[in-house]
Homo-oligomer: A and B are copies of this chain.
Amino acid sequence: MFNVPSALKRLVIGKAMRSEELGETLLPKRLALPIFASDPLSSVAYATEEILLVLTVGGTAFLYLTPWVALGVVALMAVVVLSYRQVVHAYPGGGGSYEVVTRNLGAKAGLVVAASLMVDYVMTVAVSVASGVDNIISAFPGLGDYRVVMACSFVALLAAMNLRGVRESGKAFAAPTYMFIFGILLMVATGFIKMAFGHAPVAESAKYAIIPTDHNGTLAGVALIMLGLKAFASGCTALTGVEAISNGVPAFRAPKSKNAATTMSWMGITAVVMFIGITVLALVAKVHKTNDTCQLVGFQGDCHTASQPTVIAQLASSIFGGDHSPLFYFIQAATALVLILAANTAFNGFPLLGSILAQHRYLPRQFHTRGDRLAFSNGIIALAVVNILLLWFYKANVDNLIHLYILGVFTSFTLSQIGMVRHWNEVLSTETDPKVRAGAQRSRVINAFGACTTGLVFVIVMATKFMEGAWLAVLAAIVLFVMMRGIRKHYDSVADELTVDDPQADSVRPSKVHGIVLVSKLHKPTLRALGYAEAFRPDTLEAVTVSVEKEDTEELKEQWQEFDVRVPLKVLDSPYREITKPVVAYVRSVRRTSPRDAVAVFIPEYVVGHWWEHFLHNQSALWLKSRLLFTPGVMVISVPWQLSSAPKADHPARRGPGAVRRGEPLNNKNGKRRQPIEAPEHA
């Protein structure tokens, strides 16, 4: 039989993989770079733009601050990359900031980092996808109306690719990242060569003057510094995702730490070169971009609805000769692709973090379960769902989303660097080998410097971004933190309750078993249930029926005599036409008279095969079963009767014609999961 949902699942995510295949999904460096570093690499596509957007608040007056701000970002990038190289070496088991902070600063601090990182992974997807869509729209303005739909579709696509497993997503994502690096470097080189020959590029937007929204260009002292810091905070988006490599160390090929550290250096150098190149060219070409298009003097078209091309698009257009040159389209395509795939960093990191948190019982254990393709499916799906909601709510607008971003990054940066300092302190307190000691001391200096720097940046980001939207990210992190603590508390208390204190005392056998068979009609399922109940030879056995309509009960009694049933029948009255309450009350009364015995309630059920048949049978027995489970000392025994429509789902003899010929295995190994319907027979 052909099963549509199952076939669709196989088509999207591929065939199920055995647990032993897990080892095969390790990554070489040339694949690890695009997978784990596409986020920091791609963020150079919007980092310059975010700096410019802040500085144009005073018209073009403060654009002179740009190089200084950019230098600050580059310096910070160097510090962070150096710091994280130490982390990767010290913790080859992965877990990144969460693991480092938990080990060195305790579970509470670790959980703060975990909550921050989760928020940040979500934002990485949202910002990257939104920015990627922005670049597509810069190349094809006609697509402007489909912004949200495109963004959500890309998220769904990424989720599907990741559900297929790590290795395959690596292959699919390697090419665009390298295309992007090549394209941007080509563009930067071309731009610089043109400049050298006196043909400096001029952006399309260079001709617009900008109406200052504030300050009229006359800003000095503290206010000027605050503006610069705000621009710097925006530029720090370039640093997001460095974390991902240290989280993903276990996915590298051996030697894992060394390969991860090398990949991180490559990533840092490449990102810095591209970022500097783009920023210089943007200043030279006089790219003018504003939050509000109506600030542009001389802009043609309706400034309330038209969107401005991205900085990358403006540069590519001016350097490669206009909006229709092949290289312009190449740059836009590569940028859009790498941005959308940068979201993949989060699709790798989030489920991994989720599985570690689930293992530590901070998240539901479903996040630790590997799916058919060995990926942590539930984490992937959760990330996709949250992001689709977020993109839909924020209309996939980068400027709205960006304010929620990077606060989490710097929380985890700072705490993990502090943790690393503690780590080296511990190493130095026991280590005697002078060579190792020298290395540890050097690392400690790097991490201490990193902690100070990133801590400072955290304060800057908090001060400049909180009111503009970051409060929501803070709130989300707090909610996650509280929720994870609650989950852990729940799991701990359940585990405490269930732990066996004394094997003898906890495994007391009930002295007697009282059997009760629930009956509504005397048909085959009932007879089977009676037969099975008798086969168990309980100490007492009786049949019980609830009298809702008198005629039915009388008919049942007559049949009982006619069929000469050995088991005695007891009738319970139900003036309010309920079935559950009288049965539960009766079962409880049996228990009360003999508290050391167990009561076994046999429920005849018939099982149907089609989902719609579900609606044709009452749910009383299902409800009854769940109520009985609340009653101490009770066993609930379902005695199923398979209707002819039911066994098709499972029974080999009843499969459709030609099923064997089509090569379907007899014991249903092909992973089909037909929804079974359990239709109780209580009317």
Which A residues have a C-beta under 8 Å from some C-beta of B? 16-20, 364-366, 369-370, 372, 487, 490-491, 493-495, 497-500, 503, 506-510, 512-513, 521-525, 527-528, 530-532, 534-538, 563-565, 575-577, 581, 584-585, 598, 600, 605-607, 613, 615-618, 625-632, 634-644, 646-647, 649-651, 667-669, 671, 676, 678, 681, 683
Contact = CB atoms under 8 A, between A and B. Distances in A.
B644 A497 contact: yes
Nearest to A629: B640
* Residue from A491, A494, A495 having most chain B Cβ neighbours under 10 A: A494
Contact of A630 (B525, B532, B650): B650
Given A18-B575, A667-B585, A524 B509 contact: no
A524 to B, nearest CB: 5
A531 B503 contact: no
A364 B616 contact: yes
Given A499-B524, A527-B506, A532-B598, A575 B20 contact: yes
Nearest to A639: B635
For the complex of A and B, 6 pairs with smallest distance between CB atoms: A498-B523, A507-B527, A503-B563, A629-B640, A18-B575, A630-B650
Contacts of A598: 532, 535
Contact of A500 (B490, B563, B646): B563
Contact of A507 (B20, B513, B531): B531
B369 A577 contact: yes
A667 B627 CA distance: 14
Given A498-B523, A507-B527, A630-B650, 14 more contacts: A18-B576, A365-B616, A491-B616, A509-B535, A536-B536, A536-B538, A629-B640, A629-B642, A629-B676, A630-B642, A630-B646, A630-B651, A635-B640, A636-B638
A320 to B, nearest CB: 51
A564 B503 contact: yes
A216 to B, nearest CB: 46
B531 A498 contact: no
* Residue from A366, A493, A525 having most chain B Cβ neighbours under 10 A: A366
Nearest to A636: B638
A524 B500 contact: yes
A571 to B, nearest CB: 15
A524 B536 contact: no
Contacts of A537: 537
A615 to B, nearest CB: 6
B630 A649 contact: yes
Given A498-B523, A630-B676, A576 B503 contact: no
A521 B649 CA distance: 30
Contact of A524 (B497, B534, B643): B497
B630 A607 contact: yes
Contacts of A563: 500, 503
Contacts of A644: 493, 497
Contacts of A636: 637-638, 640
A631 to B, nearest CB: 7
Contacts of A669: 581
Given A503-B527, A650-B627, A490 B616 contact: yes
* Residue from A521, A630, A649 having most chain B Cβ neighbours under 10 A: A630
A668 B500 CA distance: 32
Nearest to A620: B369
A448 B667 CA distance: 65
A613 B637 CA distance: 24
A627 B676 contact: yes
B510 A498 contact: no
Contacts of A531: 507-510
B507 A372 contact: no
Contacts of A498: 521, 523-525, 606, 641, 681
Nearest to A588: B667
A438 B463 CA distance: 99
B629 A607 contact: yes
B626 A630 contact: no
Contacts of A369: 577, 618
A613 B503 contact: no
A632 B616 contact: no
Contacts of A575: 18-20
A525 B497 CA distance: 10
Contacts of A668: 581
B577 A370 contact: yes
A208 to B, nearest CB: 42
Contacts of A631: 640, 650
14 contacts: A17-B576, A18-B576, A19-B575, A499-B523, A500-B523, A500-B524, A503-B563, A506-B527, A508-B531, A513-B532, A532-B598, A600-B637, A627-B650, A635-B637
Contact of A629 (B487, B527, B605, B671): B605
Contacts of A634: 640
Contacts of A509: 531-532, 534-535
Contacts of A643: 494, 497
A541 B638 CA distance: 19
B638 A635 contact: yes
A523 B683 CA distance: 37
A678 B634 CA distance: 14
A19 B503 contact: no
Given A18-B575, A577-B370, A625-B638, A507 B528 contact: yes
Given A629-B607, A630-B640, A536 B513 contact: yes
A650 B613 CA distance: 31
Contacts of A364: 615-617
A676 B627 CA distance: 7
A513 B535 contact: yes
Contacts of A650: 584, 627, 630-631
